[in-house]
Amino acid sequence: MDKNLTEITDLTRAEFERLLELSAQLKSELKKKPRLDNAEGKVAALIFEKPSLRTRVTFEVAMRQLGGSAIYLGPSDIGLGTRESVPDVARNLARWVDCIIARVFEHEKITGLAGNASVPVVNALSDAAHPCQALADILTVKDHRGKLDGAIIAWVGDGNNVCNSLMYSCALLGLELRVATPRGFEPAKEVTDRATAMAQESGAKLAFGNDPAAAVRGAEFVYTDVWASMGQEDQAAHKARMFRPFQVNAELMEQAGPDAKVLHCLPAHRGEEITAEVIDGPRSIVLDQAENRLHAQRALLATLLGRR
C-alpha cells in the first residue's frame, strides 16, 4: 500500500481486504504471546489537536503490542500551523520518528504532513475523513456476518467525515450503503461523485436520500454519529431541531431487519442522535466496533512499518 493513509481512497480493494485479514491474524497471535515484533524499536508521533479516548489509547496500545512506542503531542506542544508550519513539523518529526499519526481539524493539515514527511502519515481523524474508523467499521461488519458480500448498511444522520470514509469503503468493497441525511446536510458532492464512480467499478450499491425509514428498511446494520462534531458546537442547537426525525430509536429500528445491529463511532449523546434504549440494548455492537479500532490500527501499523 501507499506509505500514507490520508483517506480510504489511498487503498486498493486488495489492500483493504488484506488489512482485514491481518487484523484477525495479529489478534490471534497476541492470544499466544503478549507482544509481537512487527514494529520492534519503532516510534510513532501522535499529533492530537482534538481530545480523544479510543483513537489515542488504541494507537498507543497497538504500538506497544507491536514492540514499538508512541509519543503524544497535544495542542499546546506543537501549535500545528500556528507556532510552526505544517511542512516544518513534518520534516522535523521525520528525522526522529518512524510514523506520524495526526488527529486534526482541517484536512489540509493531513495532506500537508503527508506531502512533506518522509515517513508514513496516518489520518487519525480530520474534518473531511476518518479512515481508521472506517477500517474498524468494516471489520466489525465482517466479524458479525462472517463475510462482507451482501452486507447492507444504513447511515442515518449527518453527512460528515465518518460518513465520507464509510462511503468510500463500501464503494471500494462492493457493499450496499444507504445514506439518509436532513436536507442540506448531505455528504459533499465531490465525495458522493467519487464514491459513485468507485461503486460503478466494484458493483457496490450506494443510495442517497432524506428518509431515514426508507434507508434502514431491511438493513443489517444501522449506523449513526453525533449531530454536531467537535468544532461545530455553535451549530448544535440548530442541528438538534433539524435532525430530530433522524434519531435512531426503537421505532426506527423496527423498520430494519429483525436481526439488525446498531453501529456508532462514539462518543454518543444519548437522547439526541440515539436513545439509551438502543445503544445500550441487545442490538448494539458499538463496543465491538470500538475494540476493533485497536485490531484494525494494529494491522495498519504493522503494514506501514514494514514487517508485514
To the query of whether residue 130 is one of the catalytic residues in this protein, the response is: yes
H runs (alpha helix) in the chain: 13-32, 54-65, 75-78, 86-93, 107-116, 131-145, 161-173, 189-202, 212-216, 236-243, 250-253, 276-279, 286-304
Annotated catalytic residue within 265, 283, 289, 295: 265
Annotated catalytic residue within 56, 107, 264, 293: 293
Annotated catalytic residue within 225, 295, 298, 308: 225
CB atoms within 10 A of CB 281: 12
State the cell numbers at 208: 442517497
Helices 13-32 & 161-173 angle (0-180, nearest 10): 100
CA distance 161 to 66: 28
To the query of whether residue 232 is one of the catalytic residues in this protein, the response is: no
Annotated catalytic residue within 133, 247, 289, 297: 133
To the query of whether residue 18 is one of the catalytic residues in this protein, the response is: no
Exposed e or buried b for every residue in 222-251, given b needs 16+ CB within 10 A?
Answer: bbbbbbbbeeeeeeeeebeebbeebbbeee
Annotated catalytic residue within 54, 56, 107, 130: 130
To the query of whether residue 54 is one of the catalytic residues in this protein, the response is: no
CA distance 182 to 213: 12
Give residues with Cβ within 8 angstroms of 139, minimum separation 6. 20, 23, 292, 295, 296
Annotated catalytic residue within 54, 56, 103, 178: 103
Enzyme catalytic residues: 103, 130, 133, 225, 265, 293
